[in-house]
Amino acid sequence: MADTDTEIFKLPDGVQVSTGLNMPTDAEQLLMAALPEYSQEFYLDDKEIQRRLVRNGTQVYLEKRKKRSHRVRNQGRLGKCNGSSNSSGVEQLREMQGMPEVAISDCYAYSLANGGQDRGSALITTFTQMQEAGTAPMEIQVGGMTKVLPNDFYSRRQVDAALLKQADIEAKRFMGWEFYKAPMDSFANYCRAVASALARDQPVVFAWHVGDNSMRLRNGMVVVGRGPGNHSNLMHSAKWIGGKTLIQPDDQNSWGPAKNALWGPTGGAGWGEDGFGLFTMEDMWACARNHCTYIMASVKIDPSDPAFQ
């Protein structure tokens, strides 16, 4: 595997992990500017957000952690955080819409957005490429056999040609989803949009800045470094707290512990609380002016495909 330009950090158990979020270029900034915003018609009021996030006195995010812990990814030393967060978002959308569970290849997504080198990518390019080319499942039928896309590639040249050709075909069945950027006109609207989306169980892909002190949680909260944003993750749910910020979003990171080899290298203790950790809205907002926060609203498939009925 080639050396990476992305930052490498060491988890408390000694396992090394990477980031991989690049600052958007001028052209990517224009793509970000053209994206539709999460409309105020989707906003929920405080009472409805609380009703959806607290059921029978229990915070829903704790139940969601248990349900989704088997899908926590481990990107290892590859700079594929954008591919990991977006692929995890597609998996959650499929769950939300009652579709069969399908493991989505984050390496396939990464290889579309990084120019064939393990040097990270910008979030908007990953979104755009996945919209245009689709998102390939990990398990592919080739010549009557089930083959698995490797979870350690960054270039299409590293994959068997027949397997990659079929992956490109399969990816078109997972082509396109509805997504929006969170509003940036005010912190209040940003909080309301993100809280409304997570209360609806819509995954949110966002950027944060990792520092050396970010390898451990502090009282269950993610320790965020100062910087423009070098890592992207998935907010899968949220803790209701009320007040000005409404929630503490719950981060599903991509540094393990992976419990199934489809979602990355297994072994090691991993990061956070079984791969999860709470954010403050202030910390989530910190990098949003450099990298849009994306709300994934729905996923589409080919309705004529009997494999996904």
Global pTM reads 0.94
pLDDT (mean) for 60-82: 97
Peptide bond into 257 cis (omega under 30): yes
Residue 8 has pLDDT above 80, yes or no: yes
pLDDT (mean) for 235-255: 98
CA 73 to chain centre: 10
Give me the chain's average pLDDT, please.
Answer: 93
pLDDT (mean) for 283-300: 94
pLDDT the model gives residue 300: 75
Could you tell me the domains of the chain? 27-308 (3.90.70.10)
- Look up tokens 């906003």; give the residue: 43
In this predicted structure, which of 14-28, 32-46, 269-283, 295-309 has the lowest mean pLDDT?
Answer: 295-309
pLDDT (mean) for 161-182: 90
Question: What are the Cα distances from residue 103, in Å, to 66, 119, 194?
Answer: 17, 24, 25
pLDDT the model gives residue 303: 53
How many other CB atoms sit within 10 Å of the CB of residue 103? Answer: 18
Strand (E) positions, the chain? Answer: 8-10, 16-18, 54-55, 58-59, 139-142, 145-148, 177-181, 204-208, 217-218, 221-222, 231-242, 246-252, 276-278, 294-299
